[in-house]
Structure formats: C-alpha cells, structure tokens
Structure 1
Amino acid sequence: MAGELAGDAAQDVAQDVARSWRPDVPGVAEVLHARFTRHAYPMHVHGTWTVLLVDEGAVRYDLDRRHRGAPSAAVTVLPPHVPHDGRAATVDGFRKRVLYLEPGVLPVELAGAAVDEPVLPDPAVRRAVAALHAALVRPGEELEAAGRAALLVQGLHRRLAGRAPAPAPRDAPLAERLRELLDAHVVAGVGLREASAQLGASPAHLVRAFGRHVGMPPHAYLAARRVDLARRLLLAGHRPAEAAVLAGFHDQPHLTRHFRRVLGTTPGRFGARGARGAA
C-alpha cells in the first residue's frame, strides 16, 4: 500500500502517476497520492471534504468563480459539493497528497467559510496532515491513523468555525434547493421540468441561478456527482460495468467518457489500482 505507483498508472497520461485507496480509518473515505504534469481536472465535485497537501510545485484552481492557488506551505480545504477544477501552475507539474473526508465529519455550516478562504496557512495543520498520510501508508498502523484523523478533524473544525462566511447572493436559496434535489437523486436523475415544477421557478431561471451560485450547469453537476459515486464504488471492489449502472450512467462507455475527462484514467485502471492499494 505504501508509496507512489510508477507502473501502469503512467500509461494513463504520460508523466502522470496517481494512486487511490480506501483506508480502514473512520471518517476517511479515500486517500490519493499523485504526481501530475499534463492532466488538468475539469470542473467537478466531490461528496466529501477535500484536504489537499501540495508537496512539490504549485496548483491553480477555480472555486466559487474565483481564481485560487494551493501553496505548498499550507493546507487547502474544500467542502463537499462545491465545483472546482485543478491544474499545474508551472510546466514542472506538482505532487500532491489528498484526504477525502466523509461529509459528516464536519458540520455543513462550515462549508461557507471553507469556500471563502480554503487555504489554512497554519504549519501545525500541515504537520498534522503530513503525519496522518505517513501513518496511512505504514502497514499495521490503523490505530495511529485513526487517532491522527480524529485530531485533524477537530483542528479543522476549530479553525473553520472561527471564520464568518460572506452573505449569500439573492438566488442562492433557489440554487441550493436545486442542488439538494440533485443530490437526493444522483442515480435516478431529475428532469429540468420536474425540478421546475417542484421548486416553483422556470427552467431558464433555475439554470441561470444554479450556474451563478454553483459555478456549473445542473447537468454538469449531476454528471460530476455520478463520477464521484463511481470512484467510491470502484474502490469498494465493484467492476466498472457494475459501477456504471449503480452510479446512474447508461453503460460502461458512458461512465468511461466522463471518468476519463475528470480523472485522466479509465474506470478499469482506477479500480485495479484501488484494489492493490487496499491489499
């Protein structure tokens, strides 16, 4: 489980290496260690809290319609269901370690503070995240990893709770209601006419409000949620064809198109690496 992959992952995108696995640690949904030079993430979402540590290079990304940067001296925290992209800030690329924390480990009320200022320039937090990653790649250290994860969550809660989020735009409540509707029907999906009838707003108004508030159109948000669900299913051991249906895609090729666009690899390769990482 320890270390970076240098094998078939490099076949996905030249010079790009990535490994994901699901550890046996409460609150941690997934761990990702990656080195990217060429792959750029399009706008996508996670159903988890994302805790990003950049070890080499620099990362640029857009969040809440603003250009951001993830410095190597700090920890970046992104809340669930908030669209963002990601790319190398220089031609040399970047190396990162990511913790995906279950959505319930932190109160949803802290999401606004994380969106307003996702960077935590606290050396103690960075050391805590790095120490947790070190424990996660050492066999037989589940108890240490669980303890470090609990302390990290407590520290993130304390720091985010001390920030006051900016006031929400006028259409934010409507956009949030549509987001909640989409989140509740990730697999089955929701038609725009059905959403319009349930929320009492015209389809065009819904699309505009959602795009302004969330940063991507409803259909793209739903596809991103399905990709996020599919990666969880693959890490849990499901075959790509099964994961495609369970995540709401028409078939495996449909999943593969969206999966490759977001993650730069195929569901099959991602699932195979996850199985090895969990061993």
Structure 2
Amino acid sequence: MDTSDKSEPEVVCWRDGALDGACLASARYGEHKFDRHLHDELVIVMTQSGAGQCHTRTGSEVAGPGSVLVFGPGEYHSGEVWEGREWNYRAIYLDMEGLGALGAVFSPDSRPDKPLLIPPGLYQDAHLAGLLVKAHASLDQHGSVSLMERQANWWAAMGMLVGRYGQSRHELGEARREAHKMAQVREYVAANYARDIPVDELAELVGLSRYYLTRAFCKEFGLPPHAYATQVRLLAAKRMLAAGHSAATAAAAVGFYDQSHLNRLFKRAYGITPGTYAALKPGH
C-alpha cells in the first residue's frame, strides 16, 4: 500500500551542463495555491497531467496537457491546482544568459539590451508541448541519454518555440513614455529593495504624484511598488539560499523583518519552505 502523503508537493530542480542559462524543474502538487509572485527568468511550463489555473494581470487561464504556459521575467502571477486535482508539470527557467543563447542562434538581430522575447501567455500547442517535454525528460536521464542527443532535443524544442512565438524586443516598437517611467521605478526598487523606500522618493524620481505613480505601476506590472519590492526580496533570498546561506541570514540581508516572515511569504509564493528549497540538490 502506498502510504506517502499526496498532499505534500514534490519538487526537483537541477541544471544540465549541456545548456546555457537554464534551470529545469519537475513538480507534483496536490491541492495547493500559489500566492502572487514573480521570477527573474522566463518560465516555460508544460503540464503532463492534471491542470493548474494561473492568474496574471491579463486574466485567468487553465493549463492542462498539450499546453505551454509562459511567464515573462518580472511578470506577477498567482495560481492554484485546478479544481483540487493533482498537477504534474515540467518547467524550464531561462535567465538572461539562456535567452541570449537562444537569440544568438534563432534571432541574430537581437542584442543584449533587447533580448529575444517569448510573449507571456497560454499556448495550446500539443506538438510544441510534446517536443518540450521530450527535451526536458532527456535532460534528467544523464546516464542513458548522450550529450549530443540531449542537445539535439533541446535545440529542436527551442527552435519550434522561437520559430512559432518568438519576437525580438525591437519588433515591439518603442515603449510608451509612461511605461518607460514605470521601468525606471522598477529598476530603482530592484536596486534598493533591502531598505524601506518611501513612495514620495519614487514619485520624485519620475516626476509623478504618489497616487498616479501607484496607479500606473499597478497597471503596468500588476502590483503596487511595495509588493514588487517584496517579490524582489524573495528572489534575492532564493539566490542566497542557493548559494548556501541560512534562511535567517538571507532574511536579514534582503530586508525581511525576521526568518518567520521570510518562511511565510516564501511558502505562499513558491509552494515550499526556504529550508526545502535550500536542500534541493543541483543536477550534473
């Protein structure tokens, strides 16, 4: 008889030496809700069974088998296991190095300051989802799949993803003036996240009123500046935990009140505790 606790999530993360700037994960969640959070990578999620409902500033969508769910770097989102079912998925996290590597291969006109973009959203594309799952699965079987085959699977899947949905940022045109100001605010918060920044300071930075600034920032990024600062702190804490620092040290360094504050927000955002995340073993 299987006596394992199906309510506890199972999450495995690793990297593969065949790839540049990519982290891989496989996960199983029972009934679970993810608080609103963000990632500093492009996130690509392929559902293998069950389904997850995801909420972004543009609406809610249900990701099931045969779909590819994409979140852009810095995109605020939340979600839950759809209708309490178990959700099994594989995910790819591509940092700026990984996006640069893709751009160099598939979009030679992209530049480091304007990297390749996969527009966020839910893509109902069973063929692409199958290729991505095949590539992902081959990357967690290092003993039986050769380096050449792993790389071939990866580039075949990425080639279809970029070919069907990729864009260079310059193709999207110049950002609106307001969007540019909000980007300034976001960069300023990201550079000063460890301290409690007054809204007046942000308003003065871009020459807007406190009220207009908060409303415009919410419209552009889906959350107010103070909530964005919390998400940046969580990302910084993740990096410190991955580097071997304790949760207490990370909490103090990134500006949380104490370790319990970090524990609570981390679990609500990512579905696991800081201690569990720190214990995840890297791949080969």
TM-score range for the pair, normalised by the shorter chain length: 0.7 to 0.9
The answer (yes or no) to whether the contact 2:116–2:167 under 8 Å persists in 1 is no
Specify the alignment match of 2:161 in structure 1: 156
Q: Which has the larger radius of gyration?
A: 2
Structure 1 residue 121, shift from structure 2 partner: 3.2
Aligned to 2:124: 121
Q: Which residue of 1 aligns with 2:25?
A: 32
Instruction: Please tell me the residue identity of whatever aligns with 2:131.
Output: A
- For 1:152 and 1:223, the matched residues in 2 are separated by 34
- Number of the residue aligned with 1:196: 203
| 8 Å CA contact retained: 1:60, 1:87 | yes
Q: CA deviation at 1:189?
A: 6.2
Of 139-148 and 79-88, more deviation after overlay is shown by 139-148
**Which of 87, 90, 98 matches 1:97?**
90
Letter in 2 for 1:38: E
Q: In 2 relative to 1, CA 242–37 (structure 1 residues): closer, same or farther, beyond 3 Å? A: same
Determine the C-alpha separation between the residues in 2 that align with 1:247 and 1:177: 21
Conserved 8 A contact 1:57-1:90: no
User: Structure 1 CA distance, aligned partners of 2:174 and 2:215?
Assistant: 19
Which residue, 228, 244, 248 being the options, matches 1:237? Answer: 244
When structure 1 is superposed on structure 2, of 217-226 and 102-111 the one drifting more is: 102-111
Change (3 A) 1:245 1:22: farther
- Superposed CA deviations along residues 174-215 of structure 1, whole A, max 9, x for unmatched, are 322222222333445643222122111122211111112211
Residue 46 of structure 1 pairs with residue 39 of structure 2 = yes
SS state at 1:227 partner: helix
Q: Which moved more, 1:190-199 or 1:13-22?
A: 13-22
Residue 196 of structure 1 aligns to a residue whose secondary structure is: helix
Deviations 1:131-150 (A, max 9, x none): 22212211355834445444
Of the three residues 5, 13, 16, the one matched with 1:20 is: 13
- SS of residue in 1 equivalent to 2:84: coil
Distance 1:33 1:218, change over 3 A: same
Supply the distance in 2 between the matched residues of 1:247 and 1:154 (Cα, whole angstroms).
38
Aligned to 1:267: 274
> How far off its partner does 1:78 sit?
1.4
Q: Distance in 2 between matches of 1:186 and 1:94?
A: 33
Question: Mean Cα displacement is larger for which, 202-211 or 171-180?
Answer: 171-180
Q: Secondary structure at the match of 1:237?
A: coil
Is the 2:136–2:154 contact (alpha carbons within 8 Å) kept by the matching residues of 1?
no
Give, as a single letter, the amino acid of the residue that structure 2 aligns with 1:252: Q
Cα gap change, 1:168 to 1:36, in 2 (>3 Å): farther
Cα distance in 1 for residues equivalent to 2:213 and 2:156:
40
* Pairing 1:80–2:73 present: yes
Q: Which runs of 5+ in 2 are unaligned?
A: 100-109
**Local SS of the residue matching 1:105:** helix
**Paired position in structure 2 for 1:138:** 141
5+ residue gaps in structure 1?
1-5
Moved more, 218-227 or 102-111: 102-111
1:248–1:131 distance in 2 versus 1, CA, 3 Å: farther
Aligned-partner residue type, residue 242 of structure 2: L
Identity of aligned residues (%): 27
Q: Which moved more, 1:155-164 or 1:125-134?
A: 155-164
Name the CA distance, whole Å, in 2 between partners of 1:127 and 1:214. 31
How many residues were matched structurally? 265
2:168 maps to 1:178: no
2:84 counterpart letter in structure 1: V
Q: CA deviation at 1:255?
A: 1.7
> In angstroms, what is the RMSD of aligned CA positions?
3.1
8 Å CA contact 2:14–2:283 kept in 1: the answer is: yes
